[in-house]
Amino acid sequence: MGWNIFKSSKDKEITLEERINLALQKAKEDKRKAGKEIGDIKVWAAEAIVDVYSAFFPNGHLTYYRKQYAETALPKYEEIKQKYASQIDPEMVEKCDHLVSGYLNQIQLRESKLKLFEKIEAEYMKTKEKLKMAEAQGKKTDRIQEHEERLKTLDDDVEGLSTAMTQTYKLDDIKQEIALKEEYFNQLEKLNNQFADETDHTNSLAYKEEIDKMINEM
């Protein structure tokens, strides 16, 4: 089921501005979530490295020191492996590589998500500005039409009708633009379902490629 902001919680139509604000709120929350997940995954990857190579870190069995080592373990992973991999069980080396590689793939995926949410947010901000301009023009048009109505008996008011129709087209364009942007969230939800199996490390790379395509198409 797609992401739907056409209806409110009470199943009533909501305004274009409300739709934009809801989308902005979702993009910001998704951005925050992706950023937090990136931080968490970096910590887990570093902890995995320290777990495997703890014997080579002074006091590596103590929590206080393990946390310190974890702060640099991920960027120094290749250096750590080069120094100590030959001194531990090859199977443990392979398992550590598998874990770190998987975690890095997940980080790359969320970095792409972060870029996507930033771009969606920027696109919605542009649409919000267009809506403000259209509404401001509409208010101006309303005031002018008050004068035009006084002259209806003298003319057919063709120009006033034309202005009103132009305004309607602007709002219709914005409405269509919002609907197209809402499809970004629906498409992302479909991808979430398609690549839901996170036990397959190759999924995260395929998922990332699809998100990168979305970014490039926007």
DSSP single-letter state for residue 87: G
**Cβ contact 50:72 at 8 Å:** no
In-domain check, residue 96: yes
Task: Please compute the mean of the pLDDT values over residues 134-149 and round it to a whole number.
Answer: 63
Higher-confidence residue of 75 and 197: namely: 75
Task: Please compute the mean of the pLDDT values over residues 69-73 and round it to a whole number.
Answer: 93
pLDDT single digits (tens) 120-141: 999 899 888 888 887 777 665 5
3-state secondary structure (DSSP) of residue 7 = strand
How crowded is the C-beta side of 41, counted as CA atoms within 13 Å?
A: 19
Query: Nearest 5°: CA angle at 104, between 99 and 106?
Result: 95
Per-residue pLDDT, 107? 95
Integer Rg of the chain from CA:
27
**Cβ contact 137:26 at 8 Å:** no
**7 strand-pairing partners:** 13
pLDDT single digits (tens) 190-206: 888 888 765 566 788 88
pLDDT single digits (tens) 204-214: 888 999 999 98
In-domain check, residue 8: no
In-domain check, residue 5: no
In-domain check, residue 24: yes
Q: Alpha-carbon distance 177 to 128, whole Å? A: 11
Check whether 96 has a pLDDT greater than 90.
yes
Check whether 181 has a pLDDT greater than 90.
no
In-domain check, residue 172: yes
Which structural domain range is residue 90 located in? 16-217
Q: Looking at 34-38, 93-97, 148-152, which range is the least confident one?
A: 148-152
Q: How many residues does the chain have?
A: 218
pLDDT single digits (tens) 42-66: 999 999 999 999 999 998 888 888 8
Per-residue pLDDT, 152? 63
In-domain check, residue 163: yes
Task: Provide the percentage of residues in the chain whose pLDDT is more than 70.
Answer: 77
Per-residue pLDDT, 116? 92
In-domain check, residue 2: no
Task: Please compute the mean of the pLDDT values over residues 150-159 and round it to a whole number.
Answer: 54
In-domain check, residue 104: yes
Q: Report how many domains make up the chain.
A: 1
